[in-house]
Structure 1
Amino acid sequence: MSDIVDDRYIGQQVKAYRALRGLTQKQLGQMVNKTQGAIAQYERGLRPVTDRGVLYGLAQALQVEVGDLTGHAQDKVNPNVIAFHAAVPRIEAALMSQGYLDKPGDPAPIERLAIDAQRALKIRMGNDYSTLGGMLPNLINDLYRHTMEGDEVTQRRAHEELTKAAFVTALATKGLGYTSLAWNAARAASESAQAVGDPGGLAAAEFARSQVMLGTPGAMTASLNYSAGGADRLQSELTTPADLELYGMLHLQAALTSAALKKDPGAHIREAIETVRRAGDGSAYELSFGRENVIIWQMSIANEMHNAREVIELSKTLNPESIDTNDRQSRYFMELARAQAATGQYSAAIATLLRAELCSPQQVRTRAIIKELVGFLVRKAKRQVADGELGKLAKRVGAVAG
């Protein structure tokens, strides 16, 4: 039972910061529109904090960063992402210096950098953060160099590839808790796309900006402005199949943000479904827009709206074995596991999480919401399961001490 006693969950941090702020459970509950009993359950680990609105509300009420509650600081020693964390200072320096990073010699040829920028998109989707962290600083720096030193054709291409590299940086660093760096990277992507009048690049940058804002407490309205507003502003310019895929992704992001804001996401979901009909399945910016992805996003949106049964019904419309990327397979299983846990199907949720980990270990092991859910399942399952596969998973995701 020692693993269960030594588990880690958001409620522990909530309790510590609540005491530091001199708040009672009742007072904190009033600040986040929850009962004293609900706060007590969070703090005792009897109820997982897997709701975005609750998590952000608690962070704001306690005057801390979301990462202070989810444990981003401790995650920096996670062996799955430690190499990326170590690279962050140079990634940040490359973005800020815009081509003047201390690096002797000429930049790599633009043809090679273009290959690396596309490769970086694929690597992020594969959640190989160690490789990604090692390549981003020089990639960003050298592309900036070409935007200033090359001929007109080279400069244009450098801006297009820099949009991709900055986009990758924004989404990767956002997911690991570097909100300011992610925002600066998304802005750099927008600036490069704007410099060459690339509507697809601008749509990708708006998507990245919306993702960063959705992960920032108090900024969900801004997130909706970047996604829904960006889709409206760019609609007439997004005409190629690849551009339409990005238009569809903006609507999926708008639907998720709408759900987080307790607004009806239906119109955005319908627009995304219609866009699949027009654009088909594609891989612009390696976002894998298409029918399967739309359904997986609908599962995320239904979870956001606490409609677990809808998630389970949506899951039946897809054959997970046919999903063409490990990242999307893993996300499918993670969303299904959340719904199964919410409906009391704990054994099924455990099995589904193990399938998610098999598809994409790093994605499962670096997501705070999954760590929180696994820790809750450990406490629910008690010794007989915690000493088996679930206990091992809990150690791998950091939900209990390893």
Structure 2
Amino acid sequence: MSNDLGHDDGRYIGRQVRAIRARRGISQQVLADRVGVSRGAIAKYENGERPVDSRRTLHALAQALGVALGDLTGDHRDRLDPISAGFHAAVSDIETALWTHGNTTTTRAPRNLDELTATTKYAADLRRACDYATLGPLLAPLLNDCYRHTRDATGAARDRTWDALAAVAYITAQSAARRGYPSLAWTAAQEIERATENIGGTGGPAAAAYIRSQILLARPGSFAAAFDNARTVDRLAPDVRTLGEIETYGMLHLQAALVTAALGGDPTDHLDEADEQVARLEQAGPDSTLLRNPTFDAANVTLWRMSAAMERREPGQVLELAPTLAPETIAAEGRRAQYFVEIGRAHALRRDYRSSLHALLRAEHIAPQQVRGMTHVRELVGHMMRSARRDLTTGDLGRLAKRIGAVPA
């Protein structure tokens, strides 16, 4: 054990478990029985000797203690981090735009359709780059412009407007879910479906089900509901035809694979189906729709195979897959960062903390706003600070721990 944090002022899930358990008057054995682990495992979580790096364990602890995940992870505090300030400040305006369908007291003339299309594509680029601070202030004005056009447009312009609204709602939902606003993400997902009801197609239902499944997967007791949303793929399959529809349908299969892995099942069928959808992309032809997920490709499927393996706590499988994927072929910065996060988690499970640190630093360099807000990264880095050699904890690891809030700055 490192001597640097003998008094352990760090932030980790087990510390919160211990405090809440004590307030509840629950013994370690009782909590262990509720969670389905040994009393020794609970003791190691609470003492910081073992990280809570499993989604299933985290959810079980929250349920057993009768608290929200944020009470254990501290995610609600991340909203006030300077790196998230731009998005956080914009949330109220985004909510108003969605709740009122753009019926706000703005005097600014809306963008024309070409400007609306260009700005929507720019917003999508920002989302893929995980630049939430820049993206946040764009979303409410963009939503308001979309809504204003839907009230006036006719013919082909009407379809373009509803498509833009569906795309902006999808960007909003993805961003809100990532920044810790699940209710806002859920509302935005409803707007995806409402928009696509006006133009048809399977892209909207697939995108909305994908978002809902992600939200539910982060909620204790909601794994089955997350799986039910992901299984929307079965209903949509016969009607998937266009490029955008294949992309959103393929991403829903990847989400179904992750949920299956979280439930302890075998995700292979969904991952193989995603590979089959990748093979359809070249034959699909061009697609002018804005509701797209262009990160869906062969590289992304391999990345999700790594994530599913990590969910099943199979670090060897993760590290076998990693060399088959060149990170520069991963289209989006957020996905590229995720690649290195999974490698870092796998190395940590094998107690190769130096390799883990190297991978996490690369991930943070690629997408700092995303990586610094990841609960499992914070938990892992905090664990390494308590377990790794002194030469690591006083160098790059210590500085990373401060940046992500695993220890006091």
TM-score greater than 0.5 by the shorter chain? yes
Aligned to 1:28: 31
Are residue 44 (structure 1) and residue 47 (structure 2) matched? yes
Aligned to 2:326: 319
Normalised by the length of structure 2, the TM-score is: 0.93
Equivalents in 2 of 1:17, 1:345: separation in Å? Answer: 32
Normalised by the length of structure 1, the TM-score is: 0.95
Which of 239, 242, 249 is the matching residue for 2:241? Answer: 239
Which of 56, 59, 68 is the matching residue for 1:56? Answer: 59
Q: CA deviation at 1:240?
A: 1.9
Whichever residue aligns with residue 173 of structure 2, its letter is A
Whichever residue aligns with residue 6 of structure 1, its letter is D
Of 279-288 and 365-374, deviating more is: 279-288
Q: Write the deviation string for residues 77-120 of structure 1: whole angstroms up to 9, x where unpaired.
A: 21111111111111111111111123224322222222222222
Q: CA deviation at 1:8?
A: 0.7
Whichever residue aligns with residue 260 of structure 1, its letter is A
Q: CA deviation at 1:189?
A: 0.9
Q: Write the deviation string for residues 270-312 of structure 1: whole angstroms up to 9, x where unpaired.
A: 1111112222599973451111111100000001111111111
Are residue 396 (structure 1) and residue 403 (structure 2) matched? yes
Q: Write the deviation string for residues 152-203 of structure 1: whole angstroms up to 9, x where unpaired.
A: 4333222111111111111111122211111111111111112221322222
Of 3-12 and 39-48, deviating more is: 3-12
Give the aligned CA root-mean-square deviation in angstroms. Answer: 1.9
Give yes or no for contact 1:80–1:130 (8 Å, CA) kept in 2. yes
Give yes or no for contact 1:365–1:396 (8 Å, CA) kept in 2. yes
Which of 282, 285, 302 is the matching residue for 2:292? Answer: 285
Aligned to 2:120: 117
Q: Write the deviation string for residues 350-397 of structure 1: whole angstroms up to 9, x where unpaired.
A: 111111112222221111111111111111115321110110111111
Aligned to 2:287: none
Q: CA deviation at 1:2?
A: 5.5
Which of 130, 137, 157 is the matching residue for 2:133? Answer: 130
Equivalents in 1 of 2:20, 2:249: separation in Å? Answer: 41
Secondary structure in structure 1 of the residue aligned to 2:50: coil
Q: CA deviation at 1:344?
A: 1.7
Of 279-288 and 98-107, deviating more is: 279-288
Aligned to 2:310: 303
CA spacing shift, 1:138–1:154, aligned 2, 3 Å? same
Give yes or no for contact 1:330–1:356 (8 Å, CA) kept in 2. yes
Give yes or no for contact 2:299–2:329 (8 Å, CA) kept in 1. no
Equivalents in 2 of 1:308, 1:42: separation in Å? Answer: 20
Equivalents in 1 of 2:20, 2:175: separation in Å? Answer: 28
Q: CA deviation at 1:24?
A: 1.2
Aligned to 1:8: 11
Unaligned runs of 5+ in 2: 285-289
Counterparts of 1:293-372 in structure 2, within 5 Å, are: 293-372=300-379
Unaligned runs of 5+ in 1: none
Structure possessing the higher relative contact order (Cα contacts under 8 Å, 6 or more residues apart): 2
Whichever residue aligns with residue 87 of structure 1, its letter is A
How many corresponding residue pairs? 401
Aligned to 1:140: 143
Give yes or no for contact 1:160–1:201 (8 Å, CA) kept in 2. no
Counterparts of 1:223-238 in structure 2, within 5 Å, are: 223-228=226-231, 230-238=232-240
Aligned to 1:271: 273
Give yes or no for contact 1:160–1:198 (8 Å, CA) kept in 2. no
Which of 213, 216, 235 is the matching residue for 2:216? Answer: 213
Give yes or no for contact 1:3–1:400 (8 Å, CA) kept in 2. no
Give yes or no for contact 2:111–2:145 (8 Å, CA) kept in 1. yes
Whichever residue aligns with residue 270 of structure 1, its letter is D
Are residue 198 (structure 1) and residue 201 (structure 2) matched? yes
Secondary structure in structure 2 of the residue aligned to 1:285: coil
Give yes or no for contact 2:120–2:142 (8 Å, CA) kept in 1. yes
Which of 84, 87, 94 is the matching residue for 1:84? Answer: 87
Q: Write the deviation string for residues 4-52 of structure 1: whole angstroms up to 9, x where unpaired.
A: 7221111111112112222111111111111111111111111111111
Secondary structure in structure 1 of the residue aligned to 2:324: coil
Whichever residue aligns with residue 8 of structure 2, its letter is V
Whichever residue aligns with residue 186 of structure 2, its letter is W
Secondary structure in structure 2 of the residue aligned to 1:197: coil
Whichever residue aligns with residue 196 of structure 1, its letter is I
Which of 166, 184, 187 is the matching residue for 1:184? Answer: 187
Identity of aligned residues (%): 42
Aligned to 1:164: 167
